[in-house]
C-alpha cells in the first residue's frame, strides 16, 4: 500500500509499505478521505517533540475492507462506511474507568507520538489502516465521505459544547475564527445563543457572519473585554470559548466571562506560559473555568449523527480536496493562515 511518510519536517515521501496485518478482533480499513489537522501541519513544519518518521492523519473516513474472525457480523460488514475513534483509550486506567477516556492516562504510551526506531503517528495518511472493531462507528453509506472526514474535529467541538451548558438567549463569545472557531459558531447557534465572534482577520469575520455569527469584533481595533461588556450590558458573556493558543488571549477570555458564566480553554496554549487570573473574581462571581481536550466516545457518535442527518452543514468549511499524491502541495496550502479544512482523497467509492 501507499503511505505518506513524513521522514522529517518538510520532507514527505510516498512509500510502499506492507498492508497492515489484522488481528481477530480488528478490521482493515480502506481510507477514503483524510483531513489535515493543525497538528499534522505542526508535524510538517517541525518544532514538535514527537519522533520521526511519522504517518499522520487522525481525521479520516473509511470503509471496511476485511474483518477479523471475531468481529461482530451483525454490526459490521465488508464495504461498510465507518469512522474510527482514533484515540487509543486503554479502558483500564483511572480516567478511562471514570468515563474520561478522551484524557486516558496511557494515551501517549502507544506509537501515536513516540516510536523509537519505527514509524510514529495515527497512520490515517495511508491507503489502509488496521483498527480494533471496538473503536469503529458504523455510518450511513450515503453520507458523503469528505464530510465524514471532519468527524474528529467536530467531535472535539461537541465535547466542548457538552461541557459548556449553553442556554437559549445566552451570549456566547467564540475567540478565533479558524476551522475550530467556526465549528463552535455553528454549534453555539444551534444551541440558541447570540454568538459574538472575535477575530483579527476581516475575511474571516465576514465568513463568520455568513456562518451565522450575530456580531463580529476585531480585537486589534478595540479592547475585546470592554467590547464584550459593552455588548452585554456590562455583564460579560455567559459562555466564552477560546480557540486560540495565545496566553494573553486566554487571560482576556476569563476576564470577559459573566457572573456564573463559563470559560472553556478549547485550544492548547503555545507557548504555555502561566497567565494572571483574578481568583477573587472567580470566587465572588462563581465563574467556571475549564478546558476540553479531544472528542469523547459520545461526542464522536454525536458528530456522526450531526453530519449524516444534515443537522450541521460542514460543507462551507472544506477549502479544497487534493489527491493524496499531492501531499506537499496540500500541506503547504493547509499551512497558510487563510485556509480552512484541506482534505486528501485516498480512494473513491464505486
Ligand atoms: Zn484533529
Ligand atoms: Zn485509559
The CA-based angle 180-185-190, given to 5 degrees, is 125
CA of 345 to the centre of ligand 1 (A): 17
Of the pLDDT bands very low, low, confident and very high (cuts 50, 70, 90), residue 329 is: very high
CA of 107 to the centre of ligand 1 (A): 15
Query: Does 350 have pLDDT greater than 80?
Result: no
Q: Retrieve residue 207's grid coordinates.
A: 465568513
Q: Retrieve residue 43's grid coordinates.
A: 508535524
Q: Which structural domains are found in the chain, ordered by start?
A: 2-150+314-345 (3.90.180.10), 155-291 (3.40.50.720)
* Proximal ligand: closest to the CA of 40: 1
CA of 218 to the centre of ligand 2 (A): 41
End-to-end CA distance of the chain: 19
Report the alpha-carbon distance of residue 127 to residue 18 in Å, rounded: 10
Q: For residue 270, what pLDDT is reported?
A: 86
Report the alpha-carbon distance of residue 216 to residue 206 in Å, rounded: 8
* Predicted model pTM: 0.96
Q: For residue 109, what pLDDT is reported?
A: 86
DSSP readout, 30-61? EEEEEEPPHHHHHHHH----S-SSB----EEE
**Residue at grid coordinates 476585531:** 218
Q: For residue 149, what pLDDT is reported?
A: 98
| Bridge partner list, 31 | 62
Print burial letters for 131-148: b (CB count within 10 Å at least 16), e (below 16). bbbebbbebeeebbbbbb
Of the pLDDT bands very low, low, confident and very high (cuts 50, 70, 90), residue 88 is: confident
Q: For residue 99, what pLDDT is reported?
A: 92
* Proximal ligand: closest to the CA of 102: 2
Report the alpha-carbon distance of residue 212 to residue 158 in Å, rounded: 17
Query: Does 195 have pLDDT greater than 70?
Result: yes
CA of 173 to the centre of ligand 2 (A): 33
CA 145 vs. chain centroid, Å, equals: 17
Of the pLDDT bands very low, low, confident and very high (cuts 50, 70, 90), residue 349 is: confident
CA of 182 to the centre of ligand 1 (A): 14
Q: For residue 65, what pLDDT is reported?
A: 98
Q: For residue 247, what pLDDT is reported?
A: 96
CA of 37 to the centre of ligand 1 (A): 5
Amino acid at each position: 500500500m501507499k503511505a505518506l511518510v513524513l521522514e522529517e519536517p518538510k520532507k514527505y515521501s510516498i512509500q510502499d509499505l506492507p498492508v497492515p496485518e489484522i488481528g481477530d478482533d480488528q478490521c482493515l480499513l480502506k481510507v477514503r478521505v483524510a483531513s489535515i489537522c493543525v497538528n499534522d501541519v505542526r508535524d510538517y513544519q517541525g518544532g514538535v517533540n514527537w519522533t520521526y518518521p511519522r504517518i499522520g492523519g487522525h481525521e479520516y473516513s473509511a470503509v471496511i475492507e476485511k474483518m477479523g474472525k471475531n468481529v461482530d457480523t451483525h454490526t459490521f460488514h465488508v464495504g461498510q462506511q465507518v469512522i474510527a475513534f482514533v484515540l487509543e483509550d486503554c479502558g483500564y486506567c483511572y480516567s478511562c474507568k471514570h468515563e474520561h477516556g478522551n484524557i486516558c492516562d496511557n494515551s501517549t504510551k502507544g506509537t501515536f507520538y513516540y516510536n523509537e526506531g519505527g514509524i510514529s503517528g495515527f497512520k490515517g495518511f495511508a491507503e489502509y489502516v488496521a483498527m480494533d472493531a471496538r473503536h469503529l462507528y458504523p455510518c450511513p453509506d450515503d453520507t458523503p465521505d469528505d464530510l465524514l472526514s471532519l468527524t474528529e474535529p467536530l467531535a472535539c467541538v461537541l465535547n466542548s459544547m457538552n461541557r459548556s451548558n449553553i442556554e437559549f438567549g445566552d451570549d456566547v463569545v467564540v475567540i478565533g475564527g479558524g476551522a475550530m472557531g467556526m465549528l463552535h459558531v455553528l454549534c453555539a447557534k444551534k444551541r440558541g445563543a447570540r454568538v459574538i465572534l472575535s477575530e483579527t482577520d476581516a475575511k474571516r469575520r465576514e465568513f463568520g457572519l455568513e456562518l451565522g455569527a450575530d456580531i463580529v469584533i476585531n480585537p486589534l481595533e478595540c479592547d475585546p473585554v470592554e467590547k464584550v461588556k459593552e455588548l452585554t450590558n456590562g455583564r460579560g458573556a455567559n459562555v466564552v470559548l477560546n480557540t486560540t493558543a495565545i496566553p494573553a488571549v486566554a487571560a482576556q477570555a476569563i476576564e470577559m466571562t459573566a457572573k456564573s458564566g463559563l470559560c472553556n480553554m478549547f485550544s492548547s496554549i503555545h507557548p504555555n506560559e502561566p497567565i494572571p487570573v483574578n481568583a477573587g473574581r472567580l470566587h465572588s462571581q462563581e465563574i467556571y473555568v475549564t478546558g476540553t481536550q479531544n472528542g469523547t466516545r459520545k461526542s464522536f457518535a454525536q458528530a456522526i449523527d450531526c453530519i449524516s442527518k444534515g443537522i450541521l452543514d460542514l460543507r462551507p468549511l472544506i477549502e479544497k480536496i487534493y489527491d493524496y499524491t499531492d501531499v506537499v502541495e496540500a500541506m503547504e496550502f493547509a499551512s497558510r493562515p487563510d485556509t480552512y479544512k484541506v482534505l486528501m482523497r485516498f480512494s473513491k467509492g464505486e
